[in-house]
Amino acid sequence: MELLDFARGPALTVALAIFVLGTLWRLAGVLLLPRLRDLSPPREGAPPALLGGLRTVLRRMWPRPEFAQATLFMTVNSYVFHLGLALVVFGLAPHILFIRKLSGLHWPSLPSNLVYAVGVVTLASLLAVLARRLTHPVMRLLSHAGDYVSWLVTALPVATGLLATAHLGARYETLLALHLLSIAAFLVWFPFGKLMHAFLFAFSRAATGMRFSHRGVKV
């Protein structure tokens, strides 16, 4: 119980504080970057800058036809992982209770068996990503320690959550404590690794779309 008390008390409190402050710091660093004003007139028929940015954010949700076949596995697997993780985080009753305690927000939960099945699929998707990173020559060459740490801190909460739900490997209290500690590790790492793309991807795509649409280029 001491480990569990630590995990759901000081560990999560500190991790949440680092997550919030670190994320705000990273976002501020991006939004406060100096920008040179584009003095060139927009191309005739160019959409407003915000509309051009939004279009690019949405269009890049799926690869262009020229690259669709080559990137099919990564694209589909990415959607399986992200949607699965979202359903696990926001669909399981204990998670919703945790969010309600933090923010006051709540909504109906999904059936536990359904969330458990989605969690298994999500973990399998993560393992598939790791296997491809380890076996694909280019990805293996481009990968560094930060990529593997990001994978690990994402996979551990899913794996420990499944073990705790199934009561496999140790006492439930111990499994729950490990699950909470893995979530704390995820929150601490989030602002400082590639997981921050969950926020930054919209800014980078929108900036590209605004710049290109100003010049009359479709992206």
Q: Which domains does the chain have, with CATH numbers?
A: 2-26+66-214 (1.20.950.20)
Chunked mean pLDDT (size 10), the chain, 219 residues: 87 95 92 78 76 82 82 90 94 92 90 94 96 91 93 96 91 93 96 91 84 73
pLDDT, tens digit, 9 for 90 and up, residues 169-219: 889 999 999 999 999 999 999 999 999 999 888 888 888 888 788 777 766
pTM of the model: 0.87
DSSP one-letter string for the chain: -HHHHHIIIIIHHHHHHHHHHHHHHHHHHHHTS------SPPPTTPPPHHHHHHHHHHHTTS--HHHHTTTHHHHHHHHHHHHHHHHHHHHSHHHHHHHHHHHS---PPPPHHHHHHHHHHHHHHHHHHHHHHHH-HHHHHH--HHHHHHHHHHHHHHHHHHHHHHT-SS-HHHHHHHHHHHHHHHHHHGGGSGGGHHHHHHHHHHHHHHHHHHTT---
